[in-house]
Copies of this chain bind each other. A is one copy, B any other.
Amino acid sequence: MIPKAPLYLALLHYPVYNAHGQMVCTSITPFDLHDIARTVKTYGLSGYFVVCPVESQRLLAQKILDHWLTGVGGELNQTRKDAFASLRLVATLEEAEACIRSESGSAPHLIATSAKPGRNRISFAVGRDRLAEGPHPHLLLFGTGWGMAQELLDRCHGILEPIVGGGDGSYNHLPVRAAVAIILDRLLSAPSPVDLSI
């Protein structure tokens, strides 16, 4: 399924909760840069923002980016270079929104994701419909730590229902890298092709 208007993804290191429900800024995990950039590229999104207000963290991430975008990494592995081309490091969510407004001409609608049930959740089917209808660009938000701040969820245009696995549903601790993959697949995968079995 191809969205009507550009679709972007943001991984938020702030404002998020820690295990004790306190608002914190989490550290950047290098694997999130690699894995989510590759998944974003596979599903054809227009960009991937890593949102972290701590400058030293962004500088560290920039070093990794440089290795793949202009350094020897990209010479050895072109596909990784292609994936990293969509990644932008920003200090705030507002900065990501401003980038999208500037690129696409209108402000994005924010769609949050959450591992928890709660009010205002929308199904993945509704999420697909919204992307198919446009006309606004959309920005999908993923939190780190123990989830996004409630104030941020409250200003989103929708919050996707949590992923429930195939077990008894009691274990609910997917890596954010896996949640991104599953959610992009549920929102964007093409309908199943003709059955290929023999």
Return chain B residues, CB-CB under 8 Å to A188.
165-166
Docked CA distance A190–B161 (Å): 13
The residues of B that contact A187 with a CB separation of less than 8 Å are: 166
Flag the segment in A31-39, A51-59, A100-108, A134-142 that touches B.
A31-39
Given A163-B185, A181-B178, are A192 and B123 neighbors across the interface (CB < 8 Å)?
yes
Contact of A196 among B38, B80, B123 (CB under 8 A): B123
Known A-B contacts A166-B44, A178-B181, A186-B185; A173 and B123 likewise in contact (beta carbons under 8 Å): no
Q: A197 — which chain B residues lie within 8 A by C-beta?
A: 121-123, 126, 158
**Do A181 and B181 touch (CB < 8 A)?**
yes
User: Is A79 interfacial (CB-CB < 8 Å)?
Assistant: yes
Q: Assess whether A177 is in contact with B35, with CB atoms less than 8 Å apart.
A: yes
Please, which residue of chain B has its CB at the minimum distance from the CB of A176?
Answer: B35
| Cross-chain contact B44 with A168 (CB below 8 angstroms) | yes
Interface residues as binary, A174-185 with B (CB distance below 8 Å gives 1, 0 otherwise): 110111111011
Task: Look across to chain B and name the residue whose beta carbon is closest to the beta carbon of A83.
Answer: B173
Chain A interface size, as a band, is 35 or more
In the complex, chain B residues whose CB is within 8 Å of the CB of A18? none
| 10 extra interface residue pairs, beta carbon distance < 8 Å, beyond A124-B192, A165-B184, A181-B182 | A35-B177, A39-B178, A42-B178, A121-B196, A126-B195, A161-B193, A161-B196, A164-B190, A175-B177, A182-B185
CB of A22 within 8 Å of the partner chain: no
20 contacts between A and B (CB under 8 A): A34-B175, A38-B173, A39-B175, A41-B167, A42-B163, A42-B171, A43-B165, A43-B167, A123-B196, A123-B197, A126-B197, A163-B185, A163-B189, A165-B189, A166-B187, A175-B177, A177-B177, A178-B180, A181-B182, A182-B185
